Amino acid sequence: MSQAGTLPNGLVAVVKRDCETCATVVPVLQSLAESAGLVVYTQDDVAFPVAADWVIDDTDLVVSWHNDIETVPTLIRVEDGVEVERIVGWSAEQWRAFTSQESLGEGLPDFRPGCGSLSVDPTIAPGLAIAFGGSGLHARRVEFASLEDDVEAMFDRGWTDGLPVVPPTEERVMRMLEGTTRDGTEVVAVVPPNLAEVTVEKVAINAVMAGCKPEYLPVVLACVEAICTDEFNMHGVLATTMAVGPVFVVNGPIRKKLEMNSGMNALGHGTRANSTIPRAVQLLVRNVGGGYPGGVDRSAQGNPGKIGLLIAEDEEGSPWTSYSQDNGFDEGVSTVTAFCSEGPHTFVDQISRTPESLTKHLASMLRHSNTPRQVMGMDAMVVISPEHMQRYADAGWSKERFREELDKHLAIEIDDIIRGVDGIDEGMPDAFAGATLQKFRPGGLQIVHAGGPAGLFSSILSGWLTGHMGSVPVTREITA
């Protein structure tokens, strides 16, 4: 403990006016000041509990912070400059035993819980930690001129994705780091294309810039871990000229905890968690990994989803196993899956009333995913809406039955799409003539359930090249 926070010997109390329990025990504090030489440190009003020489101003919270005051009132006994005992809140029995005054607090309630100390207020604590203990952050500090606008300065330095970002002050980054139990210096991943080691702290900085809440940080960390794998191949995702980027699918209890949107406008804007978590990942790839558009990011046209697209699956509304269960995780485990794809394409079917009709129609659109002239090379994701899902639920179809029926309709006669057929140069090489192949590789079609309760519209997200030359979906468990 620093000299600034040293307490005097004897009885010491820490209080604040904005605390009902502290106000309740004012007569007790006055009695102890007269009989036992109590010293009181007040956090928010130098005239509380009274204006007296035994009441000491702690509105700068120096004493409270250095002595780890979490609750007020706190009563402390100090001997030879060292704290030997403390109690928090008001308990007539405890205070009487603590002070050896049997009649202390007569007429007061037997018990009142304390209130939170100002020194642990989440809007104040990070600043106190920096002022009194140092932030403990390791990232490079960038000083802006006093007349610079923070937001515009970050635009000028190329730190944004084209939208304004939140200035990552020390206080905000420290608050963000409270969202995880992981040490800020821990290396999370090596981020392409520059293969830069990224720490938890660096992830937190970009999460602040993206507008995340601290409780989102574990999801962002899991997303970063997923894309920075050889299987996902983030370097290739950046370097391809296709309009693809990471799309994240979240499963498990974390969806509800973070109030993610799996319903109306599930693939769109308007929900903080859905919007800011994937944005944090893209900012990290840009600011730490060096993945700038026009640099290593060579996408010819891009798509709005590259700013960030996160889908929270509607597990509760689906009769089928969840997407994370398909990927080998138990029910109730929070996960995120990174899938490389273009933006969503709407699938419209407002007339089919049987699963057979709906599936055949869906397959006809999936045959055109990316291009109708290629097979096996690229994955896709189908996001089935609740109204379309109801067709399968009413008929008692399982997800396995759905896949089997789709496969029947996704068997492609290669002679129909050989290069040059119908006057179209694009197509399959002549070496595949006479073959019948599936549109997608085994396991290449991803199935997710999300969307609003009304509307006979589902979505298809067309993927990128799969296999060792491309990208495959990667799932990671979300941990604290």
Share of the chain above pLDDT 70, in %: 99
Stretch (H or E) spanning 422: none
Average pLDDT over residues 98-112: 96
d(CA 233, CA 221): 17
Looking at residue 356, its pLDDT comes to 98
What are the distances in angstroms from CA 68 to CA 6, 91, 186, 365, 396?
12, 20, 26, 62, 59
* Cα–Cα distance measured from residue 347 to residue 383, given in angstroms and rounded to the nearest whole number: 10
**What whole-number distance in Å separates Cα of residue 428 and Cα of residue 38?**
88
- Of the candidates 323, 340, 335, the one whose C-alpha atom is nearest the C-alpha of residue 223 is 335
d(CA 416, CA 437): 12
Q: Are 373 and 439 in contact (CB under 8 A)?
A: no
Q: What is the pLDDT of residue 39?
A: 98
d(CA 62, CA 50): 20
Mean pLDDT value of segment 437-459: 97
Burial 233-251 (b: 16+ CB within 10 A, else e): bbbbbbbbebbbbbbbbbb
Three-state secondary structure call for residue 31: helix
| Residue 303 to residue 201: CA distance in whole angstroms | 29
Pair type for strands 115-116 and 71-72: antiparallel
Q: What is the dihedral of CA 426, 429, 433, 436, to 10 degrees?
A: -80
pLDDT(133) > 90: no
If we measure between CA atoms, which residue out of 14, 12, 13, 20 comes closest to residue 115?
A: 20
Let me know: does 465 contact 444? Beta carbons within 8 Å: no
Does residue 178 have a pLDDT over 80?
yes
- How far apart (Å, rounded) are the C-alpha atoms in residues 155 and 455? 39
Cα-Cα end-to-end distance for the chain: 30
The closest of 317, 265, 171, 205 to 455, measured between CA atoms, is 265
Residue 217 in this model has a pLDDT that exceeds 90: yes
Answer whether 449's CB lies under 8 Å from 315's CB: yes
pLDDT tens sequence across 335-346: 999 999 999 999
465-477 average pLDDT score: 93
Prediction pTM value = 0.82
- Average pLDDT on 152-177 reads 94
Lowest model confidence (mean pLDDT) among 197-206, 330-339, 461-470: 461-470
- Would you state the pLDDT for residue 134? 75
Domains in the chain: ranges and CATH: 3-120 (3.40.30.10), 153-477 (no CATH)
Once rounded to an integer, what is the mean pLDDT over residues 224-235?
Answer: 97
> Mean of the pLDDT values across residues 392-421?
97
Longest C-alpha distance within the chain, in Å?
103
- What dihedral angle (degrees, nearest 10) is formed by the CA atoms of 190, 196, 201, 205? -120
